[in-house]
Structure 1
Amino acid sequence: MLYTARMTAPDAPAPHAQDLAPYVRQGRADLAALVALESVSAQGRMLPETADAVTALLEAEGFTVRRSPGQVAPILLAEAGEGDTTLLIYNHYDVQPETPAELWDSPPFTLTERDGRLYGRGVSDDKGELVSRLAAVRAVRAAHGGTLPLRVRWLIEGEEEVGSPSIAAFVEAHAADLQADGCWWEFGSISEEGRPVVSLGLKGIVCLELRCRVSDSDLHSSLGAVVDNPLYRLSRAIASMRDDAGRVTIPGFYDAVRAPGPVDLDALASLPDPRGPLAGSYGVRGFLGDADAREANRRTNFEPALNVNGLHGGYGDAGSKTVLPASGFAKIDFRLVPDQDPAEIVRLLRAHLDAQGLHDIEVVELESHEHAARSDVAHPFVQAALAAARDSSLQEPVVHPSAGGSGPMHPFVQHLGVACVAMGIGNVGGRVHAPNENIRVQDFERGVRFGVTFLERLARTSFRCP
């Protein structure tokens, strides 16, 4: 369908004078209640209970909620409002494990404020995003006499942190119920200067485990003269898969990569240098290939990557133990870009290891694989989101054609044909997936204001040809 956009009512003033404080306070209370629920999908903890709590919050704001079973956790599909425009929102209520718990400066499942930040597991990814949007819905409903002036369809799952194994099939099966003019994706951030950081795509991902066994039992290390070492075999496999600049060296790996177009490359010119904030927040000591600012942004947006998540085996306690380990394993992931097929990447890896004489390295697929997805910056829905970001912040947004991370965006683009925009409340020092996950208090407030501005703009816009 050919989409255009036209305003159906004059632009209203940006809601900077509107008192959103009551909705922000209620949102923080909602967030505290959700953070307290230990919805760790990798361990199956408190997932039905959290789905119940999210359902109750939605129903209190007039949403009709349908609940479907997923492979790991319930999937919620909610709907409210009426009007010419339909907005689809995607969020998830599951979180990463809190371990190592001893590295948290406050209890991970207790919302804690200190020095202008809110701490707790899921406070950014993704419970804070969810409740900031709900607070915006609350404010817009109140401004319109208790009704939403647009249709909002909300898909909320509890399996995102384990690869969303149920979502692709669910979106395909419920495509008619999920039709919308655009999708507001589950994350995003705000720069140190208060500029909205918007992403229009996500990388795909393949998570794998490489395993090697040389014996049924650990051996005395003197036998290393005649018995190979599984950790050496794994290290050799890993070293053969990329060069010192980070470029993957598996034959055929880049064959399907979709090259960025001129508009995509032009977007790099306006992106800030990501290296300083990374070094300042995380103590990063250097960057692959001595990448400059443009190259760092190009790789993050448009290049696939290989990551070694962990290498395990043998003795790791104090002192020495002269042992030849029986086995070892490495966990890796590939971050993919549009047109790369996860199944083909696994096949290429297997062929590469065999060509290296590493037939004994077992490749085990973990979780669900995801394809990459990317939306067009010129799409009218994307432009509406950028205008709302500009109006609510009074600053020009930072626009990334793609984020460096991954998520189940591809089924939405493939089966629904919607443009997706990620705009949220994270920050570069947010410690997402790590101890002391946090958001800045002012960013939560900014997120609510953006949500109000975005919903109001969409309610005044028609995206279809008259």
Structure 2
Amino acid sequence: MLKRDVLTVIEENRERYIEWLVEFCKIPSVAAQGRGMEEAVKFLDGLFEEELGLQPEKLDAGGYPVVYCEMKGASDHTISFYNHYDVQPEDPVDLWQTPAFEPDLRDGKIFARGVADNKGNLIARMAAVHAILQADEELPMNVKFVFEGEEEIGSVNLPELAEKHAEKLASDGCVWEFGYRDPDGTVQLSLGVKGMLYVELTASGASTDLHSANATIIENPLWRLVWALGTLKDPKERVLIPGFYDEIDEITETELALLDSYELDEDAMLDSLKLKKFVLGLKGDQLKRKHIFEPTCNICGVEGGYTGEGSKTVLPSKAMAKLDFRLVPGQDPQKILAALREHLDANGFEDIEIREMSSEVAARTHPDEALVHVMRSVAEKVSGKKPNVVPNTPGTGPMHVLCQALGIPSASFGVGNFSSNNHAPNENINVEDYIDGIKMAAVLIEEFNAQLNKEKSVVG
């Protein structure tokens, strides 16, 4: 047991911890544009050195470094925290009520790019360790921080790093980067993530843009791209690439039971998005099952020709589309990539180039893991309500390569909310959710260690 109540210590330091987050969110650490990355690393170095008394390592990932820090505790058990310090670009800037990198506290919220994804969770977990050390001079167990700088660009260098530094990444359980609350304030506890294949398709035509009068005799690559995209999915949302669904893992009874208890506030979600219905008009269990357990084929954007103000009669020379496929356990991104190539070729689109941008394997942790049981208890203890347990979130991250591939169970809860606007203007978190996120991380470190000690004594 800690010498002082850690929750009291967190309340005593709340303004300090808010200041940490606000200062971090001022740094425009946009990996996709190479902005602010060195400054973000320096900020983390300073926080570790000045507030936790440690010098973190920089693990070479071939790009922006992974900031790694291991703190020794009283037991030989280890918990790890994975987060990322890079953020999405702030575009479109004109839709922000206040500048994206000038954090604004209003209406009980903090607004800033990256405050929910992922700086709020990152700082909350550092604050939790700081609070434990304030409550007691020693951590109950070993703690490892793994802070990546390339998550928002697909973690392209992480597989090599994980293989090279598997020993440093080893732990008894990993708390993953994100976490949200439902519209009614219920904490979401996620046990996994979907996989990803992100590709760029390019159709090329003439060596230069032409007057559109030439459309009678010169092929338009934008039309070729549109026709190709039209072969990928039907109006009932079924992906038409042969073999796309063949190797999906069967959903277990335990996972289905979690789906039954998973609460999705459909009305609140539709209302917040100003929509009248979900895709295909789905509701209830069918909607939840599709959202959690099914893969996707999504067009992120299409570019080509003239889209500016007024008219310009042009026949474009090139067209490009960006697609992401959210994948579920059993689907291999490289097999899906090969199947996509075969599908386009079989439909007469051999000329369309495919450029792989990134890929991730789906990951899911069994709900009977000790980490999951303790996280459930901690979420209820801090928030006063049983958490909403989700087999996996619809989003993606490098969980498999850092956790499941190394035999490490992982799950996540955190400081975001159902309308945090990740990747969008006016990204935000609730101040009280942030403070609770610190509390949950701190209590988890103590109670996860106690649970592992209990299991060890039973085995012994």
Q: In the alignment, which residue of structure 2 is the partner of 1:272?
A: 263
1:85 deviates by: 2.3
**Match status 1:435 vs 2:430:** no
- The residue that corresponds to 2:378 in the other structure is 388
Give 1:297's aligned residue. Answer: 288
Q: Given the alignment of the two structures, is residue 180 of structure 1 paired with residue 175 of structure 2, yes or no? A: no
Q: Could you tell me which of 216, 220, 225 is aligned with 1:229?
A: 220
Matched, 1:459 2:453: no
Partner of 2:35: helix, strand, or coil?
Answer: coil
- SS in structure 2 opposite 1:107? coil
CA contact (8 A) 1:48 1:74 kept: no
Question: Share of identical aligned residues, percent?
Answer: 37
Equivalent position to 2:402, from 409, 412, 432: 412
SS at match of 2:403: helix
| 1:124 partner SS | helix
Q: Is the 8 A contact 1:171 1:415 kept in 2?
A: no
1:369 paired with 2:382, answer no
Question: Runs of 5+ in structure 2 lacking a partner?
Answer: none
Aligned to 2:86: 94
Could you say which residue in structure 2 is the equivalent of 1:398? Answer: 388
Aligned residue-pair number:
454
In 2: Cα distance, 1:98 partner to 1:154 partner = 26
| Pair 1:32-2:7 in alignment | no
Residue type of the alignment partner of 1:440? N
Q: Report the Cα distance in structure 1 between the residues aligned to 2:356 and 2:447, rounded to whole angstroms.
A: 44
State the partner residue of 1:48: 38
After TM superposition, the structure 1 = structure 2 runs for residues 38-437 of structure 1, keeping only pairs within 5 Å, are 38-59=28-49, 60-82=51-73, 83-144=75-136, 146-366=137-357, 368-437=358-427
Does the 8 A contact of 1:23 with 1:138 survive in 2? Answer: no
Mapped contact 1:175–1:415 kept (Cα < 8 A)? no
Alpha-carbon deviations, 1:133-160, whole Å to 9, x = none?
A: 112112111111x221111011111111
C-alpha displacement of 1:45: 1.2
Is the Cα–Cα contact under 8 Å of residues 272 and 293 in structure 1 kept in the other structure?
no
Shift, 1:124, TM fit: 0.7
Whether the aligned pair in 1 keeps the contact of 2:303 and 2:321 (CA below 8 Å) is: yes
> How much has 1:346 moved relative to structure 2?
0.8
- Between 167-176 and 18-27, report the one with greater CA deviation: 18-27
1:12 positional shift: 12
Which stretch of the first structure deviates more once superposed, 25-34 or 281-290? 281-290
Contact 2:370 2:451 (8 Å CA) reproduced:
no
412-421 or 348-357, which deviates more:
412-421
Residue 438 of structure 2 is matched in structure 1 by 448
**Alpha-carbon distance in 2 for matches of 1:14, 1:401:** 32
Q: CA deviation at 1:381?
A: 1.4
Contact 2:374 2:447 in 1 (8 A): yes
How far, CA to CA, are the matches of 1:313 and 1:452 in structure 2? 50
Q: How far off is 1:441 after superposition?
A: 1.4
Deviations 1:55-108 (A, max 9, x none): 221233144411123332111110113114210110110111111212111111
For the aligned residue pairs, the C-alpha RMSD in angstroms reads 1.9
Counterpart secondary structure, 2:261: coil
Q: Secondary structure at the match of 1:129?
A: helix
Write the distance in 1 (CA, Å) between the matches of 2:48 and 2:138. 14
Q: Which amino acid aligns with 2:362?
A: A
Flag the 1:64–1:332 CA change in 2: closer, same or farther, 3 A.
Answer: same
> Shift of the alpha carbon at 1:208?
0.6
Q: Distance in 2 between matches of 1:275 and 1:113?
A: 29
Shift in Å, 1:166: 1.9
Q: Which whole-Å CA distance do the structure 2 matches of 1:315 and 1:400 have between them?
A: 43
**Structure 1 runs not aligned, ≥5 long:** 1-8
